[in-house]
Amino acid sequence: MLHYAVVFLVIALIAAVLGFGGLAGAAVGIAKILFYVFLVLFVLSLIFGRRRA
């Protein structure tokens, strides 16, 4: 999932350089959502992983 966040961030940067405002905004939004979902899942896996050990 982190891979998809990075891919959308790269797409957003390329679109911003080329001047595609709407596409860049959409890609940034998707990258932010995927990054926060990944971050929450990572923290939850750390918490629950320590409980089982």
The mean pLDDT value for 21-40 works out to 82
Count of C-beta atoms within a 10 Å radius of residue 17:
9
Q: Look up the pTM and report it.
A: 0.59
- Evaluate if residue 19 carries a pLDDT over 80: no
State yes or no: pLDDT of 53 exceeds 70.
Answer: no
1 in Cβ contact with 31 (< 8 Å): no
> Which pLDDT value is given to residue 52?
61
Mean pLDDT score of the chain: 80
Which pLDDT score, from 0 to 100, does residue 16 have? 76
Residue 28 reports pLDDT greater than 70:
yes
Separation of alpha carbons 40 and 24, rounded Å: 24
